[in-house]
Amino acid sequence: MLAKEGSSHGCGSWIPHASGTSSAREMLEVRPGLYLGGAAAVAEPDHLKEAGISAVLTVDSEPGFKEGAGFEGLRSLFVPALDKPETDLLSHLDRCVAFISQARSEGRAVLVHCHAGISRSVAIVTAFLMKTDRLTFEKAYENLQTIKPEAKMNEGFEYQLKLYQAMGYEVDTSSAIYKQYRLQKVTEKYPLQNLPQELFAVDPTTISQGLKDEVLYKCRKCRRSLFRSSSILDHNEGSRPIAFAHKRMTPSFMLATGNQAQCTSYFIEPVQWMESTLLGVMDGQLLCPKCSAKLGSFNWYGEQCSCGRWITPAFQIHKNRVDEMKMLPVLGSQTRKL
Ligand SMILES: [Zn+2]
Ligand SMILES: [Zn+2]
């Protein structure tokens, strides 16, 4: 479906070599019909038209085109983003990749640009190559740097693209990987005056219907429902001495499947009943909202699991303070002790 693009906008090699227009000097064709560039590439919309580009993805602090600029038939997408490691590109990747794919499938040539054409646009195009060519982050980035040696995304974007790979080239907002990433983003804004509501898992006492195969965790002392198995953020077991040296989480840690026999705590996402406890303080105890039994602790800067792994931020519940109850899907909220 991409086969016919080449003929619609001329031979791919003339763009990087031409020197007649500013846009030509600022654009590089990295795949047939896929261009990478900086702000100068969109300075003269007519030049885009001449180059056969009819779709533009701007990932910059400002839109690529002023109000009313551009030209008839031009399709554009603007993703506001600063070139900083803490900028969240991950949440926009699906939208960006879909925009590029859609445009190309219609035979449009696409320009992805940021300000300098070095970091933000490179990250987006790398994600696109990863997904369409099923490449690892390293391979896709290397491939792009071969074509554009000065391409250099910041380390925050590198990290996010590794998470993108770990999620299978699609941002799964219900995955432990994404939840942990989102929690880290919130932590960067510490001190926290308020927390976005979507950060919290719904209190299991407010939902009557259980999902199939879900396990419910209840306070051992008073039986209050505390969290569901879908809130557990799994991690690979650390080995104590090494784990001490690596406080920062790596994506491999997040691809957790290993047995966690050594772990004496569950690390979970925040649940609604924790909200008032978590605000305005860096760390503290987590108490049962009904009987005030001590369940565990939290720390926005992270805590170490008994297996040695650091988890940031950390909301941990000691396994011996809760009981696992299997949800019975037919009977809704009824549970059976495991
Ligand atoms: Zn552990
Ligand atoms: Zn309790």
pLDDT tens across 141-177, in order? 999 999 999 999 999 999 999 999 999 999 998 888 8
Q: What share of the chain is helix, strand, coil (3-state, %, to 5)?
A: 35, 20, 45
Which band of pLDDT confidence, cut at 50, 70 and 90, is reported for residue 189?
Answer: confident
At residue 334, the pLDDT reads 55
For residue 313, whether the previous peptide bond is cis, meaning omega lies within 30 degrees of 0, is: yes
Domains of the chain and CATH, by start: 28-171 (3.90.190.10), 197-244+262-326 (2.170.150)
CA 205–ligand 2 middle distance (angstroms): 13
Contact 135, 142 (CB under 8 A): no
Q: Does position 201 have pLDDT exceeding 60, yes or no?
A: yes
Report how far ligand 1's centroid is from the alpha carbon of 202 (Å).
Answer: 24
Catalytic residue at 114?
A: yes
**Res. 241 pLDDT band, cuts 50 70 90:** very low
Give the pLDDT of residue 20: 42
- CA 271 – ligand 1 centroid, Å: 20
pLDDT at residue 65 in the model: 77
Q: Which of 110, 132, 104 is nearest to 4 (CA)?
A: 104
224: CA distance to ligand 1 center in Å?
25
Could you list the beta-strand ranges (E) of the chain: 27-31, 34-37, 53-60, 75-80, 109-113, 215-219, 225-228, 265-267, 283-287, 294-299, 303-304, 310-311, 314-318, 322-327, 335-337
- Has residue 232 got a pLDDT over 90? yes
pLDDT digits (tens, 9 = 90+) for 53-93: 999 999 999 888 776 677 778 899 999 999 999 999 999 99
Ion ligand 2 residue ranges (Cβ < 5 Å): 219, 221-222, 224, 288, 290-291, 293
pLDDT in tens, 90-122: 999 999 999 999 999 999 999 999 999 999 999
Q: Which of the two residues, 22 and 169, has the higher pLDDT score?
A: 169
pLDDT at 238: 66
* Percent of the chain topping pLDDT 70: 79
pLDDT value, residue 236: 76
Query: What is the DSSP secondary-structure string of 129-155?
Result: HHHHHT--HHHHHHHHHHH-TT----H
Under the banding of pLDDT at 50, 70 and 90, the label for residue 242 is very low
